[in-house]
Amino acid sequence: MLFEDLSLSKSIQKAIYEEGYTSPTPIQEQAIPLILAGNDLIGCAQTGTGKTAAFAIPIIHQLHRIVGSSKKPKQIRALVVTPTRELAVQIGQSFETYAKYTNLTQLTIFGGVSQNPQVDTLKSGVDILIATPGRLLDLHKQGFVNFDHLHTLVLDEADQMLDMGFVNDVKKIVKLTPKNRQTLFFSATMPIAIRELAEMFLTDPETVTVSPVSSTAENVEQRIYFVEKGEKRNLLYSLLQNENLSNVLVFSRTKHGADNVVKALRKKNIAAEAIHGDKSQNARQRVLDAFKNKEVGVLVATDIAARGIDIDQLPYVINFDLPNIPETYVHRIGRTGRAGNGGIAISFCSKDEHGYWKDIQRLIKVDVKTISDHPYPWHAGSPDAKQEKPKNSNRSGGAHKSRKSSASKQNKKRWY
């Protein structure tokens, strides 16, 4: 299939063509027609699958058809809610790219910066609003945001919003929007808690799933190092130096851990920076820009902060700490090996994390190469020896059948 087969407006097709794209990705091919048909949608897709364009392109097409060249005051007709500032910025850039030959206007709002410029733009009117939950509710409470004309609501990265404690905020936001809206719900993982949320917010949705969460990219080489917990920093430094690694994204489980890794690397004269929720918006953006421009060779991030990192040519990902949720491992290493490029994913496993690694292996079903020839191996016992499983490594999950009836879809009338 080609983009021209999707019956998109010529203005959007021109913008897509200028970006060098001719064929949609699997999620775009499946989702765009469903969204254009007015369906509510659940999309399960990982980073790097083209998910943002899968909802941005049809939203722009719909609004361009409705708004056209009208000179009437702008009203918020599409709202995208996303958990992190960095991700909001990237989504805003995507809308800007594909809508550049239309009359549509957009705004990205988030906390951590002055609200005054955001308020000024809202007062002048926008068609598309991309927002983090906190700042959105603040500005609505102050009377600067009105959803009376809302056409489409997008809840992006739903699993991260759940992890970050935004569920109540999201519920408040949904209640503020018209009941006859179109709702699009995207998540990298679909545990039962996320499916229950989708059932609350959507009406008889269509479901699109690509790149199952258990699959890892074929062009990513995976390696595992069984290392003593106290030697992880030494092993990281050894790899960076001896293998001359650069442009490396390192994952830490905690903010404090990320800062400590950066301090240790700086003592070894390695240019490293951390990015996590305790950093100001300006500081996070500066660090991201420096990493993308290769002014910083090592970026240490928590999972939540890393959701806003979108770099096509990222050669290395290192799991300094293993995640306690196996799907998170898949999401992490999916940061490399993107856009047809190869990548290497390296994981450190201490004895207390061995249960996590077993869970990951059961999920991905890939024979990951064990690197035993390194200076900091486990002092006693082998990696395959029975180890106590870390706490909280089990998660609830499984299929969850929607109880929405098809009649609800028939009774739901779209105002457009």
CATH number of the structural domain spanning residue 342: 3.40.50.300
Q: Are residues 136 and 89 in the same domain?
A: yes
pTM score above 0.75: no
Q: What is the b/e burial string over 123-135, where b = at least 16 CB atoms within 10 angstroms of the residue's CB? A: eeebbbbbbbbeb
Tell me if 375 is assigned to some domain: no
Regions of the chain short of the pLDDT cut 50:
384-416
**Residue 377 maps to a domain:** no
Query: What is the pLDDT, as a whole number, of residue 398?
Result: 37
Residues 234 and 85 occupy one common structural domain: no
Is residue 175 domain-shared with residue 321, that is, in the same domain?
no
Using an 8 Å Cβ cutoff, are 215 and 364 in contact?
yes
Verify that 240 and 341 share a domain, yes or no.
Answer: yes
Say if 382 falls within a structural domain.
no
Residues 168, 276: one domain? Answer: no
- pLDDT tens, 70-119? 677 789 999 999 998 888 998 999 999 999 999 999 999 999 889 999 99
Share of the chain above pLDDT 70, in %: 85
Residue 248 belongs to domain spanning: 220-370
Same-domain check for residues 191 and 232: no
Q: Tell me the torsion sign for CA atoms 371, 317, 366, 400.
A: positive
Q: How many domains are there within the chain?
A: 2
- Identify whether 384 is part of a domain: no
Residue 9 within any structural domain of the chain: yes
* DSSP strands (E only) in 76-234: 78-81, 106-109, 128-131, 152-155, 182-187, 206-209, 220-226
pLDDT of the residue at 47: 64
Query: Which pLDDT does position 303 carry in this prediction?
Result: 79
Considering the domain architecture, whether residues 45 and 149 belong to the same structural domain is answered as yes
Per DSSP, helices labelled H in 190-344 are 192-201, 232-242, 255-267, 281-292, 303-306, 326-333
- What pLDDT shows up at residue 389? 41
Is residue 383, in this structure, part of any structural domain at all? no
Residue 70, in any domain of the structure: yes
pLDDT tens sequence across 127-155: 999 999 999 999 999 999 999 999 999 99
Pair (182, 322) in one structural domain: no
* Eight-state DSSP code of residue 380: S
Do 21 and 158 fall into the same domain?
yes
Do residues 150 and 239 both lie within one domain?
no
> Any residues with CB less than 8 A from the CB of 283 and at least 6 apart, and which?
none
My answer on whether 233 and 361 are in the same domain is: yes
